[in-house]
Amino acid sequence: MEIDVKKKQENELVFVIRDSDLSFANAIRRICMMEVPKIAIEDVHMIKNESAMFDEVLAHRLGLIPLFSDSESAEALLIPSECDCEDQCPKCSVSLVLRKKGPGVVYSRDLSSEDSKIKPVYDTIPLLKLMEDQEVELEATARLGVGMDHAKWEPTTACAYKYYPHITIDENCDQCQKCADACPRGVLEFDEKDNQIKVVDLENCSMCKSCVRVCDHKYITIGHKDGDFIFTIETDGSIPPEEVLIKACDVLSNKADKIITFCEGGS
At 148, give phi and psi (nearest 5°): -70, -15
**How far is residue 196's CA from residue 73's CA, in Å, rounded to a whole number?**
57
Q: What is the DSSP letter of 264?
A: H
101: three-class secondary structure by DSSP: strand
Residues in the chain, overall count:
267
Distance of CA 82 to the CA centre of its chain: 25
- Residue 61 one-letter amino acid: R
243: three-class secondary structure by DSSP: helix
Q: Between helices 241-266 and 22-34, what is the axis angle to 10°?
A: 110
Question: Which H/E stretch holds residue 30?
Answer: helix 22-34
Which amino acids are annotated as binding site for [3Fe-4S] cluster, given as ranges? 205, 208, 211
Which amino acids are annotated as binding site, given as ranges? 205, 208, 211
Distance of CA 73 to the CA centre of its chain: 20
Show Cβ contacts of residue 191 under 8 Å, excluding neighbours closer than 6 positions: 197, 198
8 Å CB contact between 176 and 197: no
Q: How many CB atoms within 10 Å of residue 192?
A: 7
8 Å CB contact between 159 and 241: no
Instruction: List strands edge to edge, sheet with 156-169.
Output: 2-8, 12-18, 220-235, 156-169
